[in-house]
Each structure stands twice: as C-alpha cells, then as structure tokens.
Structure 1
C-alpha cells in the first residue's frame, strides 16, 4: 500500500476584500497604466527573472475583478505541463482570486512563500495546479499617495529559499519602479 499525501482543499484560499480597488483602477488610468502591455515593464520583468533565476516574473496591476500583467516574463516556449498532460501558458490576465499578488496589495507588505504547499491558505490556489507555481516572492508597488497599485513578483515551479537578500531585492525593485512610473506619468515620457 502506498501513501499519497492529502491534496489541498480547493476553495480554502480566500482572496481578501479589496476596498481600494475602484480608487486603484482610477489611479492606474490616470497614470496611463490601464490593462495594456508595456514594453519597458516587460524588460523590467525579464531583468527580475534573470536576477532571481526564475521562470516567471511580473509587474502586476490588480483591478476590481482581475489582475493584469503589464510586465511579464514567462516561459512561452516551454509551458507548464499539468498532471493531465495539457499545457498551460501564462497570459496577461488572471482572475483576482488566482495567485498571490492580491494578498500583497491588500496587506501592503511583501510576501515570501518558499513552498506555497506548506501554507494551507495558499496551497489550494489555482496557479499551483494550473502553472505549477511552488514558490513566490512579491512586493507591493506603493505610490506617493500611499496607494498600493499592484506588485512586482517572481515565481518558480520549484520550492526556493528566497532569503533576506531576495526579500530586500524585491522590495528595492518595487520602490524604484514606483518612482519611475510616477515620474513617467508626471513628465509625459515613456518608461
């Protein structure tokens, strides 16, 4: 007889209530960052992926009912193959209840998950089964008005010890990016 560890209970993850979402969407539009890919943010995500040595890195803006990856670095040529043999390729949008970024935005704090399966609250998240995400590191993009616009995050398909250096790096990158986003909007210049 073989032992199979119990699978996480679907639906255990509760996406936190986000009362700032309507104001955030308005602020993102004013900054010119509403639901469109931004090549400079793709380059930023690519740099973060290389720095972190991960397959996934994103600049994610969280709306009322979905998340939008304005910056995305993902393995398009080598999609994650699910247990049933089908392939998953990460696109630019996810429902708000997928992933970990909505938690970072509402908490307004960085989140480090070395192995998401170790946390009952996060183990049942759809991105674990859909894309094989097993570790996550994200920091909020908090603008000068104090609003959390979204996140900068990195994710891996294997457990990973991010350490203090990883946490410090993601927080510094998030702070630097917010300055660039606001300066670009203020000066009317591209990122």
Structure 2
C-alpha cells in the first residue's frame, strides 16, 4: 500500500486519496461502527484527554465522504475565540478534508504535529481556523485484517511537544482499542 501525498489546490493542499475508503466503509458497517455515538468510545476519548491533558480527543472512523467521531471529548465551551468573537464547537461529523486524521489513515502510521503552523501542508486546514487547533497527535486503528478503520487522536489549542512518550502512548491506546473492537466483533459484546 503506497501513500499518495496530497495534491496542491491553490494555497491549500488536498487530503490524500484514500483508496481503501469503500472497503473500510463496508467493514465499519459490518462492525456496527461509525454511524452513531458510542458511550464507551466517548469514555475512551475522555480517558485520552485526561492522559494527555488536552481539550479535544477523538475516536474517528472515516467513510468515503466524511469522518465520524464515534468517541468524542470536547470542552463544554469552545476554547478558542475567532476574531469575529465567536467560537466553534466540534460536532460528530466533519468533511474528509477537515483535520489531520485522514492523513493518518492514508499514511497508515501515527502523525505528530507539535505546531501545525510549522507545516504549510497542515497550517491551512479548516480546523486550524474553525477550532483553533495548534497541535495534533494521532494513531491509526489497524485491525487484524490490515484494514485501517480510523484513528485515535488528541488535539490542543496551543503548540505542544508530544515527545516520544506521547507518540508511544497514542500508539498503545490505538492498539488497545483495536483489541476491544475486535473482541466486540468476535463476541457480539458491547465495547
């Protein structure tokens, strides 16, 4: 599986092509994931936020056209205020070209962005302006079939040195969640 880098489009770079999206969508449907919020995944996301001390944490499943946060932890009020005096609340669904998780899925490996403004490829992403995201740490959820189901990720509104410990922690959390997801499939049990 090769990683197709994003293609330029004016000043912004597009999300990389995701050739596995149709197969992933079918696999997620068979698993009963990616269509509704999961309280256990919300709890998992809350644990990620506590572990890393961030305002945003997600368990994200990507379809062909959008991303769905089946597990989501956000602050009660937006932590960032835009120049027009408003802030945005993160919902459960985002277009595929918003955020950094689609890059994790396409690359099939973790992504560490200490300060997104340091990376022209990511600095123009809509989540930077809409939600004030300045740093990101995410890892793919790769099941035993080799399919990338989605990601676990955390974001902050300030630059952050995640370090090797942060990278190891997010990978460990992703691996633990895949075990739970597959156990659910095998046993037909809730997460």
Counterpart position of 2:177 = 177
Structure 1 residue 119 corresponds to structure 2 residue 119: yes
How far has the Cα of 1:66 moved from its partner?
A: 0.4
Q: For the residues of structure 1 that align with 2:99 and 2:61, how far apart are their CA atoms?
A: 13
How far has the Cα of 1:39 moved from its partner?
A: 0.3
How far has the Cα of 1:11 moved from its partner?
A: 4.5
CA contact (8 A) 1:56 1:155 kept: yes
- TM-score, normalised by the number of residues in structure 1: 0.93
Counterpart position of 1:74 = 74
Counterpart position of 1:186 = 186
Counterpart position of 2:46 = 46
How far has the Cα of 1:78 moved from its partner?
A: 3.9
Q: For the residues of structure 2 that align with 1:107 and 1:88, how far apart are their CA atoms?
A: 28
Counterpart position of 1:108 = 108
CA contact (8 A) 2:78 2:88 kept: no
How far has the Cα of 1:35 moved from its partner?
A: 1.5
CA contact (8 A) 1:80 1:89 kept: no
Q: Secondary structure at the match of 2:76?
A: coil
Q: How does 1:1-191 map to 2 (within 5 A)?
A: 11-191=11-191
How far has the Cα of 1:86 moved from its partner?
A: 1.5
> Compared with structure 1, are the counterparts of its residues 170 and 85 closer, same or farther at alpha carbon in structure 2 (3 Å cutoff)?
same
Q: How many residues align?
A: 183
Q: CA RMSD in A?
A: 1.2
